[in-house]
Amino acid sequence: MAVRTAIESQRGTRSTTAGSRPGRPARRLVRVFGVLALSLLTASCQLLGDGTSVGTVSTGVRPKLTSDIGAREHPRVVATYGGVYKDPGAERAVASVVGRLVAASEDPSQSYQITILNSPAINAFALPGGYLYVTRGLLALANDTSEVAAVLAHEMAHVTANHAIKRQQRAEAKQLADRILNDVVQDSEEARKAIISSQLSFARFSQVQELEADAIGVKTLARAGFDPYAAARFLRSMAAYAQYQSADASSPGAPDFLSSHPSTPERLQIAVKSARQIGAPGIGERDRDRYLNQINGMLYGDDPLEGFVRGRSFLHKALGIGFTVPQGYILENSTEAVLASNGDGTAIRFDGADVSGFPNLVDYMKSGWINGLLPESVRETTINGLPGVTGAAITQGWSFRIAVVRIGRTGYRFIFASRSPNQRFDTDFRATVDSFRQLTPTERARLQSLRIKVVKTKPGDTPRKLAVGMSGVEPSRRLQFFSILNDLDPNKAIPTGTAVKLVVE
């Protein structure tokens, strides 16, 4: 989390920063967080494959248009996903497959710019004009070269099939149709049904594109000499990881790739069927050992500049702060804030604000950045020796509990949201806020980044034995995490000499 700081002056909104990125206006925070709470319940090798940088797509769409869109959006994508991740091994792992895939693709003349994003999220996507992106989080989950190739082949298929432009055109048409329905149709219920129908149609349109990209991608994968079953294998790994992330709570833990590339049974069936049309399992290159050797030492999880999630605790070495959420919550550290949610529908947001313009925290709390604030609820308090203030708000069907703790110029803000607040809601809020503290110099010195460490198994090694050495995961979940990360059965012996990934400090 790059801690945001933002206050409003009488002449307008101004933003400053206590972290590594600019702040945003604070007045909309609670309103925006209401939308966020709903959703919670729901580096690089740039220009890799230099030899393929010739030609453009022949899709009936003006080539300059597609490249212009990609070039315009590229800086925004990089900024949103934490910047470019630079790691020679990871870059080689991606570069080693690009040329082969391009040569085997539907349009070998299409040029590509591939960027590794400095994000722990598991995601890959494409922009018009051949801009492809994979996150280091996705590279960490993959277990061989063929799985990375499967992801890139899928994204290349989106480019050659011109899916982004078609989706944008369909979305614009849907938006126009919805506006006409709202403005013209007098029967509001009929208008609502028509709009829902158009939404379902658009969703299906997008799903058809995913299925098409799957089928094209598997064929490209096979033509390039890679294991055609890698696509289905990696889809299953991502689904297993999503289930692991949401095992204890309704969290935003599903890989982003699955959010935009739904892992439906239909997709898995098509991926397997497409592979079977090529041959039986066991064909094609997988190259596990070389791939794992290339990502050995790669950063895993949060970037040090954004702080660290360690189980149910968030710790920020540079700011020297930390807090812990109660049992049942799952933390997610985004570039905007630290987020968490549980199975009861409670959502949490933690961020920072510049409070230097206010003589006390009560004045800050009542300065207008919270919609629906209940003035009588505002109370001054002390949190582990630090000045603080708490309050409550109700707006748009949501109940909020808010706390701000001050250290110097910065106010660290906790916002809890629920549609159905109960005793546990208040208890969890109090426990989380009371856990906020400043880290000792020793704790800050010991706090290190997590990295991928690749080892070869020895006689007698088992998943349970190896999982004990994992860091950054609650002990009760280490075996499950190790098994998913390495695509291994937790109850089966591992052959001696097998390369496996550990996550260590």
CATH number for the domain whose boundaries are 4-39+302-444: 3.40.1000.10
Which amino acid, residue 242? A
Mean pLDDT of the chain, nearest integer = 78
Distance CA(314)–CA(340), nearest Å, equals 11
Q: 265-276 and 188-223 helices cross at what angle (nearest 10)?
A: 30
Sheet holding 124-127, edge to edge: 113-117, 131-135, 124-127
Average of per-residue pLDDT across 401-405: 97
Q: What is the pLDDT of residues 420-464, one digit of tens each?
A: 899 999 999 999 999 999 999 999 998 889 999 999 999 999 999
Q: Does domain 448-504 have CATH number 3.10.350?
A: yes
Closest among 329, 387, 384 to 359, alpha carbons compared: 387
Q: Take residue 333 and report the two structure tokens written for it.
A: 């550290």
Average of per-residue pLDDT across 290-296: 97
Q: Where are the domain boundaries for CATH 3.10.350 in the chain?
A: 448-504
Q: Where are the domain boundaries for CATH 3.40.1000.10 in the chain?
A: 4-39+302-444
Instruction: Tell me which of 31-40, 50-59, 207-216, 321-330 is least confident.
Output: 50-59
Q: Take residue 310 and report the two structure tokens written for it.
A: 């360690």
Which residues does 198 contact at the CB level (< 8 Å), separation at least 6?
174, 177, 178
- pTM: predicted TM-score of the whole model, two decimal places: 0.70
What is the sign, positive or negative, of the torsion defined by CA atoms of 60, 61, 63, 66?
Answer: negative
Question: Would you say residue 374 has pLDDT above 80?
Answer: yes
Which one has a higher pLDDT value, 329 or 44? Answer: 329
Q: What is the pLDDT of residues 158-197, one digit of tens each?
A: 887 654 444 454 444 445 444 544 554 445 554 444 444 4
Q: Give the helix ranges, DSSP H, for 161-227.
A: 163-184, 188-223
Question: Would you say residue 62 has pLDDT above 70?
Answer: no
Distance CA(44)–CA(24), nearest Å, equals 27
DSSP label at 55? -
Instruction: Tell me which of 29-43, 71-85, 265-279, 375-389 is least confident.
Output: 29-43
Question: Would you say residue 84 has pLDDT above 70?
Answer: yes
What confidence score (pLDDT) does residue 81 get?
86
What confidence score (pLDDT) does residue 72 get?
85
